[in-house]
């Protein structure tokens, strides 16, 4: 069973030392949040084979069919102030892009703030949800969904043009245990360096190298309005810098902001 392989690979690690598998669940992020509220430790991983109510950002749905993909959530308890929480999404993007490129040989790119794309199509999504108490972050639930062996013929019609899977791109199955183990290993390495160094220049440079948006014309939608310009990359604190036609640069923090690329040819 792929989950047993994965559990044994995670032994002695920070992320995955407590490992809970659900054949079926509503949402791994919901389960992780409830457990974190009851005191579950940092590094607890909730993994499911199927989600009936997989979630994306801003109330969107994450399609989560059974038997093919990875749906997991990790409980993190970083000692950071709540406004720094989006940096966790950025480090997760670097970890996921690197791990998925490595396991598949595909060129995986990050679409700010929270998607992993291959050839412009969505392969994986990241959903970080924070719970704070005053100026303290109580915990962050980091949810990651990866389309691994989902067959193109099984994609819902609405996703056929915009989504992809490792199998759809490679034309062969990729073992889920290897993909998930690689993901958790990269995540642990990046998280441990983040705890030591914070959002470092090295992490920002890695993100910028893996970015699929830098240099592209983008449109950002936030509760404050719509803004178009050329994405320049991340600032030293993780904000996305965007240059408009008049030469002024704006900063965007992941949160309630959606980004669209004008030309989706990556
Ligand atoms: P956005 O990319 O707009 O920030 P999210 O990251 O919240 O959106 O992801 C949710 C969106 O991703 C859905 O509205 C849908 O368009 C798309 N989607 C849902 N499930 C999947 C999936 N398994 N693979 C790829 N894309 C998906």
Going by C-alpha positions, the residue among 67, 98, 74 that lies closest to residue 2 is 67
CA torsion angle 126 179 264 202 (round to 10): 70
Going by C-alpha positions, the residue among 36, 180, 37, 208 that lies closest to residue 102 is 180
Active site residue 250: no
In the chain, the domains with their CATH numbers are 2-210 (3.30.930.10), 217-261 (2.30.30.100)
Ligand 1 within 6 A of CB of 31: no
- DSSP assignment of 110-161 equals EETTTEEEETTEEEEEEEEEEEEETTEEEEEEEEEEE-SS--GGGS-GGGTT
Write out residues in the chain with pLDDT < 50, as ranges: none
Rounded distance between C-alpha atoms, residue 22 and residue 20, angstroms: 7
**pLDDT for 97:** 98
Atom 19 in ligand 1: residue holding the nearest Cα: 62
**pLDDT for 264:** 56
In the reported structure, the alpha carbon of residue 129 is separated from the centroid of ligand 1 by a whole-number distance in angstroms of 16
Residue 58 Rama label (left phi>0; alpha psi -120 to 50; beta): left
Active site residue 122: yes
**pLDDT for 263:** 64
Active site residue 209: no
Atom 2 in ligand 1: residue holding the nearest Cα: 115
**pLDDT for 222:** 87
Given the residues 138, 160, 251, 260, select the one marked as catalytic: 260
């Amino acid at each position: 069973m792929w989950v047993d392989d994965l559990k044994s690979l995670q032994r002695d690690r920070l992320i995955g030392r407590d490992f809970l598998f659900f054949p079926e669940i509503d949402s791994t992020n919901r389960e992780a949040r409830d457990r974190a509220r009851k005191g579950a430790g940092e590094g607890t991983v909730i993994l499911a084979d199927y989600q009936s109510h997989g979630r994306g950002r801003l109330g969107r749905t994450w399609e989560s069919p059974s038997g093919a993909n990875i749906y997991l959530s990790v409980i993190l308890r970083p000692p950071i102030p709540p406004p720094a929480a989006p940096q966790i999404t950025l480090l997760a993007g670097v970890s996921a892009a690197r791990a998925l490129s490595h396991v598949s040989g595909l060129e995986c790119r990050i679409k700010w703030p929270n998607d992993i794309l291959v050839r412009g199509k969505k392969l994986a999504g990241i959903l970080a949800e924070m719970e704070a108490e005053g100026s303290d972050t109580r915990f962050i639930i980091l949810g990651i969904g990866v389309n691994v062996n989902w067959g193109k013929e099984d994609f819902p019609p609405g996703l056929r043009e915009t989504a992809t899977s490792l199998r759809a791109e490679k034309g062969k199955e990729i073992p889920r245990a290897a993909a998930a183990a690689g993901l958790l290993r990269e995540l642990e390495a990046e998280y441990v360096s983040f705890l030591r160094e914070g959002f470092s220049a090295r992490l920002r440079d890695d993100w910028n190298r893996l970015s699929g948006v830098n240099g592209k014309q983008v449109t950002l939608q936030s509760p404050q309005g719509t803004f178009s310009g050329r994405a320049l990359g991340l600032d030293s604190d993780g904000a996305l810098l965007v240059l408009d036609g008049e030469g002024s640069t704006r900063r965007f923090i992941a949160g309630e902001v959606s980004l669209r690329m004008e030309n989706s040819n990556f």
